[in-house]
Amino acid sequence: KNQVEQSPQSLIILEGKNCTLQCNYTVSPFSNLRWYKQDTGRGPVSLTIMTFSENTKSNGRYTATLDADTKQSSLHITASQLSDSASYICVVSDRGSTLGRLYFGRGTQLTVWP
Amino acid sequence: EADIYQTPRYLVIGTGKKITLECSQTMGHDKMYWYQQDPGMELHLIHYSYGVNSTEKGDLSSESTVSRIRTEHFPLTLESARPSHTSQYLCASSETDRDGNTIYFGEGSWLTVV
């Protein structure tokens, strides 16, 4: 069964600290993996997209890694800011259909305290 | 910045009413999607479209219907709303052909049926 599991479910850190969010997936055949940031009451916003051949991608203070062999990804946030408080969603796409079906994790709810 | 817009953002209606959630994008994308998301849960695909006059049901069964008469417009309609339809509805769009295209989300429509 194709699944995307994220951990931790929620995380509280102090402003300025770093943190790492995890994503494990069983989606096959794998096409790509995306990380999205979703502020409360808003739509998700894309942070990174990685295909099979990519093992790291950065977007400012966000760095995503991908290990396609172990089917794991992580999102590292450096020098966190209050505005980083949001849900971070891991999304994996398969190659099994024309649509490129998307499998969503439930997200990690990050809270940054001053 | 994504050019995809949803209206209304928030709506409270009575049981049995007919409602239409509007979604428009100005990026010329062929693919459009509707997702349903309950608080703290993952997104579920309820409808998608490859282009004008193309509509398909998604993974999650939904009593809603959609239409795609123009490329930029993908409205979702509930003929008779029920309390079980209370949820957040997210519209999204992407380019068609290339693998790993960014999917852009609207801000969401929060529907409450009383």
- The CB density around residue B47, as the number of other CB atoms within 10 Å, is 23
Show which of residues 9-48 on chain A sit within 8 Å of chain B, judged by CB atoms: 31-32, 34, 36, 41-46
Any idea what the Cα angle at residue B38 is, between residues B32 and B55, rounded to 5°?
25
Does B41 sit within 8 Å of A106, measured CB to CB? yes
Give just the sign of the alpha carbon dihedral A84, A86, A88, A89: negative
Q: Are B5 and B106 in contact (CB under 8 A)?
A: yes
pLDDT tens column, B55-103: 999 888 788 999 999 999 999 999 999 999 999 999 999 886 555 678 8
Cβ distance A45 to B2 less than 8 Å, yes or no, reads yes
Handedness of CA A84, B90, B1, A92 (dihedral sign): positive
Mind listing the pLDDT tens digit for each residue in B16-35? Answer: 999 999 999 999 999 999 99
What's the confidence (pLDDT) of residue B1?
A: 60
